[in-house]
Amino acid sequence: MATNSGLLDRLMKGEVKMHELDDLLPPEEAQELRLLFIEKKHGFSLPKISSGIIASGSSKSNIENMIGSVQVPLGMAGPIRINGENARGDFFLPLATTEGALVASVNRGCHAINSSGGAEVVVLSNAQARSILFKAESVKRSKEFSLWVESNFSALKKIGEEGERFLEILDIVPYVIGLNIYLRIKASTSDAMGMNMITFAGKRIADYIVKDQAIRFISESGNLCVDKKPAAINLIESRGKRVLASVNLSEEVIKKVLKTDSRSLIDMNYRKNLLGSAASGSMGFNAHFANIIAAMFLSTGQDMAHVVDGSLGFTLVEEIEHGVNFSVTIPSLQVGTVGGGTGLPTQKECLMVLGCFGSGSPAGTNSLKLAEVVASAVLAGEISLLAALCTKDLSRAHKELNH
């Protein structure tokens, strides 16, 4: 590092920017020098940040100006029995979190599910979305362009899929607001979460359109996708994977494992998850989808900002003979098993534990499997938290496990 003392001086003087070090030094040396620069700027050392296992050269597609890595505690819940279309069998659930009691709570939910024969899980739809934005000169032209898009879907689909082996464009829907036309493109992206894939496709389609049509291209993303924000369109029409997980809980299991009864569960769900959410204007009619989704996303290398999409959805507790049907509906679950952070060392190992790292056989089945596992974990978390609220044990559990 002594040979880089001149570069450090230039960093301190602002003559060189941190990102420019990548063009001047090997990745590891650039990372080390950036960290040293930050330490000198603040007057103390950061030895733990530099002690991670992620090599700077192997994570260029995940981070810029890398100085090290952070660690989050990882716990395992389960196993949980899943009777899904792609996930079948017993699965341990990797949960990365700093919230005490979360893993224990999910573990109790797993026990209730296993005692009831396992979770039944289905994926109702599977399509990533991106909206591209155009502007017309008149409202009449807005309508004409929308009709042109609908009648030329095959040509636009071909252009969008060009050069992509694992992308299939399923639909292009125009939404017109005055002179603005948003084209909401929906596509299957195989085992990738697919945001980059569909963004590139959208740009190809836009470039093709402006060559053929008298229309102004405004943006590669018009926010009608909707990406990383709570939105009714994702709740209703879905984005990513729409997943349902369900289990029939007998009165015996509810009493023995959850320490409550079916009537209390039904009433609590109505008053908290349904009525309370409606009164607050929430689009998440659930107890804490985001808690479990965040912990699973962090452990498996998903895009953490998509936790907000996953927080949308419904928890239902419905009366059946001798018990309840307990279900969760997640309309916008964004997961992938290739790309993004899935190849980072610890995240890769967690995906291996779940048996869904990399591309599936056939392609696309691994991401569907992961979606079913995440939904099952969410189901376990909802069951346990709702039961804790019924028995007034929520604060007690946090006191015991957070100290």
DSSP-derived secondary structure letter, 225:
S
Which residues, 6+ apart, have CB-to-CB distance to 301 below 8 Å? 340, 341, 342, 343, 344, 347, 348, 350, 351
Residue 99 appears among annotated catalytic residues:
yes
Q: State the catalytic residue, choosing from 22, 303, 372, 382.
A: 303
Residue 191 appears among annotated catalytic residues:
no
For 336, list phi and psi in degrees, rounded to 5. Answer: -150, 160
Facing residues of 176 across strands? 181
Residue 288 appears among annotated catalytic residues:
no
Q: Kindly write down the DSSP assignment for every residue of 246-303, as one continuous string.
A: EEEEEHHHHHHTTSS-HHHHHHHIIIIIIIIHHHHT-SEESS-HHHHHHHHHHHHT--
Q: State the catalytic residue, choosing from 39, 99, 220, 393.
A: 99
Buried b (16+ CB within 10 A) or exposed e, 175-205: eeeeeebbbbbbbbbbbbbbbebbbbbbebb
Rounded Cα–Cα distance for residues 267 and 326 (Å) = 13
Q: Which residues are catalytic?
A: 99, 303, 398
